[in-house]
Amino acid sequence: MSRRDPGGDLSRSYEGAAVLEALLAASGAAHPIDAIKAVFQQAQADGASPSEVFPALFEGEPHFASPEDARRLYGNLFGLWDRVAAGELEEPRARPEKPAAPAVIAPPAEIEGKVLPDGFVQAALGALTTLPEKERTKQRDRFEQRESAVCEAIRELGLPPGAELAGLDLAFEVWLLCGWALGARAGRTDFVRLQKPAPRGSQPALERFIAEWLGEAELDEEEPLTSQDRAKLEPLLRQAAEQLAPAPVSSSN
C-alpha cells in the first residue's frame, strides 16, 4: 500500500495505545505511543501535515495483511493526530464492560402440602430476579389471560398509573409463585370474592412477601407507592393469594 495520506472516508477513531501499537508492529513500525504523541506534537507545532508525518513512522514500505488492517491503522493514526491537536494527550478511558447477566436460578420444586413455607418463597425470589426476559414476557401474557379477574379488580381501584402497574406486577409474581409451589393444585382468582377481605394466617409466607414487596415500592425513589394506594392494594392482593393458593381445609373435631 502507498504511503500517501489515505484521507477520504477513513474512520478517524483512536482505539487506544494497545490497539495502535499492535497495528504498527504488524505493519513493520514498532513505536511506543508516547513517542508518537511527541512526534505529532512537534509536527503540529511546525505546521506539518499527516501526509508528511505518517510515512516517517515506517522504515520501509508498510505491509498489511488486508486492506481492512490498513484502513484501521490509518484511522487510528488520524484519530490520535486529532486528539493531540485538541490537547487530549491522556489515553481514552476504556468503556466499562457490560456486566454479565446473572446466572438463571431455577424455580424451587413443587411443595407437597398447600401452605407455602418461607423457605420456598425465599428460594423463589432468586428465580424471579433472574427470570429471562423472554420467559417473563411469556408468563406475563399467560397471567393476564388466565387471571383477568385480578387484573380487572386492580384496574377498577382507580389508582394512578404507577400504583396500578405496581399492583399488576405484584399480582403476577404472586401468581407465578403459587404456580411454582402448587402446580395443577393452584387456584384461580374470582372477581366477586376479590372484593372481600382475606382472612389472615392461612398463607403467612405469601402475606409477608406481599407486605415486603409493597414496603419496598413505598421507598421507590422515582415513583413511590403512597400509603393510601397501598391500603387499597394490599387487602385485594392478600385475597388473590388466598384464591391462588387455597389453604387446607381444617378438620373438625
Q: Which of 35, 29, 107 is nearest to 70 (CA)?
A: 29
pLDDT at 2: 34
CA distances from 136 to 7, 104, 142 (A): 50, 12, 10
pLDDT per residue as tens digits for the range 204-246:
999 999 999 999 999 988 889 999 999 999 999 999 999 999 8
Query: Are residues 71 and 144 both part of a single domain?
Result: no
| CB within 8 Å of 107: residues ≥ 6 apart | 124, 127, 180
For residue 77, pLDDT over 50 is answered with yes
- pTM of the complete model: 0.61
**One domain for residues 131 and 196:** yes
> Does one domain contain both 52 and 122?
no
Q: Are 213 and 123 in contact (CB under 8 A)?
A: no
Tell me: pLDDT of 76 over 50: yes
CA distance 200 to 196: 12
Domain hosting 212: range is 118-244
Q: Which three cell numbers stand for residue 182?
A: 402448587
Q: How far is CA 119 from the centre of its chain?
A: 27
Number of domains in the chain: 2
One domain for residues 79 and 123:
no
Q: Are residues 233 and 162 in the same domain?
A: yes
Give the residue ranges of DSSP H helices in the chain.
17-27, 33-45, 50-53, 67-85, 118-129, 133-146, 148-155, 161-182, 204-218, 227-244
pLDDT at 5: 41
Mean pLDDT for 104-122 is: 93
Asked if residue 135 and residue 182 are part of one domain, the reply reads: yes
Confidence of residue 93 (pLDDT cuts 50, 70, 90): confident
Name the burial class of residue 251, with classes exposed (0-12), middle (13-18) and buried (19+) by CB atoms within 10 angstroms of its CB.
exposed
Q: Is the pLDDT of residue 192 over 70?
A: yes
* pLDDT, tens digit, 9 for 90 and up, residues 3-32: 334 444 567 888 888 989 998 888 888 889
- Residue 150 confidence (pLDDT) above 90: yes
